[in-house]
Amino acid sequence: MKLQDRTILVTGGGTGIARAVALKAAAEGASVVVCGRRLDPLEEVVARVESAGGRASAVSGDVTREADCIRIAEHARGAFGSIDILFNNAGMICREKPVHATTLKEWEDTFSVNVTGTFLMSRAVLPGMLARRSGAIIHNASYVGLAGGEAIAAYAASKGAVVLLTRSMALDYATAGIRVNCVCPGSVDTPMLDREMEEMGGAETVRPLFAQKHPLGRIGTSEEVAAAVIFLASDDAAFITGTALPIDGGRLA
């Protein structure tokens, strides 16, 4: 098992990509802590892990709040002793929003979750990793953080910030044995994408358009992104840090 005897903390952990990462990490031997604003989906993930013989714990919290991030990290350490892997997944998007149509609140909320939340949660787990001189942190960015995108100005800018935060952290902590990478998915079949498609005219109309934008001709799955996250968290990626890994069906190509 790739993650035997390790603990992973997953933010936004009740649905979509985070849920897939939590379940796959548990299948690879990790103890799993999932956090998010709503407790019900987190507890469902815990039940799935435990029913398969794994160990898991749920904690509610808001990654935009410093005190919550500290409490989440303390909960994880109390449950399983240490945090070996952090997957920063919590995020939000405002669609159909070029700059002139983006309110200040939408801009600030997007950066608060996508960037500040990633910063705060990373800062909360780093002291333990520094003390052990080991750890892996993976951020969830986006292909638009590498190339930009139409009518999602705040989201693209925030994900670009996550990419450069990844590279800066990788340099800061390389000699401490802590690797920092990010994944950059294209369109992935998640509840968040479902909500976006409804806002844009409905899944029946919009889904084929999303699929056509990817050279592989389809939308990705949460499990495909999870496989890349587990790889980056594992010893298979021991010589990889500072990488922004596209998982985009060829879109950036």
Clarify whether 173 is annotated catalytic. no
* Active-site option among 155, 183, 187, 225: 155
Dmax (CA) of the chain: 52
Rounded distance, CA 134 to CA 174, Å? 10
Find, among 138, 229, 223, 121, the residue nearest to 179 by Cα. 138
Strands 178-185, 244-247: parallel, antiparallel or unpaired by DSSP? parallel
The one-letter amino acid at 113: V
- Burial grade of 103 (CB within 10 A; 0-12, 13-18, 19 or more): exposed
Radius of gyration, alpha carbons of the chain: 17
Beta bridge partners of 140: 183
Strand order in the sheet with 135-140: 56-60, 31-36, 7-11, 85-88, 135-140, 178-185, 244-247
Rounded distance, CA 214 to CA 216, Å? 5
Strands 31-36, 56-60: parallel, antiparallel or unpaired by DSSP? parallel
Rounded distance, CA 102 to CA 128, Å? 39
On whether the CB atoms of residues 205 and 129 are closer than 8 A, the answer is no
Rounded distance, CA 183 to CA 142, Å? 7
Catalytic residue numbers, as ranges: 155
